[in-house]
Amino acid sequence: MAASSSVTPITVSRTEAGVPPRHSLLVRVTHWLTTISFIALLVTGAELIVSHPRFYWGETGNSGTTPLFSIHIPASRGTVPTGYSYTMPDQNGWSRYLHFEAAWLLVITALVYGIASFLNGHFRRNLWPASGQRSWAAIRDVFARYLRRAPDIAGAHTYNVVQRLSYFGVIFVLFPLVIWTGLALSPAFNSAFPWFVDVLGGRQSARTLHFFISIALLLFLIVHVVLVAWAGFWSRTRAMITGRANSQEGL
């Protein structure tokens, strides 16, 4: 009688089978450069707000002008009326310098990412919702899957409709607006392109708009990190570093 033999099946993952990476090298590099610059902008932007936590509308605004609204925190300058009897340490010098440096890193990164993504079809292929995703039912299904923490095998290798819509809004709406309003705060840019600033209502209006757009980007970042953690922080982070995702993971 012939001896029976058992064969252990070999499981080949989707990445081993030649499936393209979840994130291309372009997306990974620009993602982390954007992360670095955005964190630097948040920290330095907060320091700049501390130096003058009052916001105005129009072309001019100063300590003697009635603000549109104020953030009720002590300022780092004694000339700014805040209602507090003390001032915060003044970090305006280095924070202003680093803020503009980080802003230019963000602008250059965005240009490289945008031009390359148009040329290689990344926007059309990965960010524009596919035909089967253009419905409220598809959106509800994604949120329901997140709430149930149900795995989405296909989702480990592509963007779902909620990701596509949110990334599309950030890339084509919020980022251009935050760059526009940020450039409007530069005296040199204002002198060269005054109409670019006037259409916003003036430099102080641009600063106020810049603040609210930055808040919207911060909220996006918080939700983004929470959902990444909810879906599997290390697996998603690994995919953004190596480009590869485990075919058995995904939300």
How do residues 187-203 score in pLDDT, each as one tens digit?
888 888 999 999 999 99
Whether 120 maps to a domain, the answer reads: yes
- pLDDT value of residue 79: 87
Q: Is residue 42 part of a domain?
A: yes
Band (pLDDT 50/70/90 cuts) for residue 2 is very low
Within 10 angstroms of residue 91's Cβ, the number of other Cβ atoms is 17
pLDDT digits (tens, 9 = 90+) for 76-101: 888 898 888 888 888 888 999 999 99
Sole residue written with tokens 């922080």 = 233
Strands (DSSP E) along 4-136, which ranges? 54-55, 69-70
The pLDDT of residue 214 is 96
Domain that holds residue 220: 25-59+66-242
> Considering the domain boundaries, does residue 2 fall inside one?
no
**Closest by alpha carbon to 185, among 12, 38, 59?**
59
Task: Read off the pLDDT band of 126 (50, 70, 90).
Answer: confident
Would 153 be classed as within a structural domain? Answer: yes
SS3 28: helix
Q: How many domains does the chain have?
A: 1
Tell me the sheet residues that pair with 216.
Answer: none
Beta carbons within 8 Å of 146's beta carbon, 6+ residues apart: 227, 230, 231, 251
CA 21 to chain centre: 22
Q: What percent of the chain has pLDDT over 90?
A: 42
Asked whether residue 83 is domain-assigned, the answer is: yes
* Residue 148: CA count within 13 A, CB half-sphere: 9
CATH of the domain at 128: 1.20.950.20
The whole-model pTM stands at 0.79
More confident residue, 24 or 113: 113
Check whether 17 has a pLDDT greater than 50.
Answer: no
pLDDT recorded at residue 98: 94
Distances (CA, A) of 66 to 48, 58, 81, 84, 121: 19, 12, 11, 17, 49
d(CA 218, CA 163): 16
Confidence of residue 138 (pLDDT cuts 50, 70, 90): low
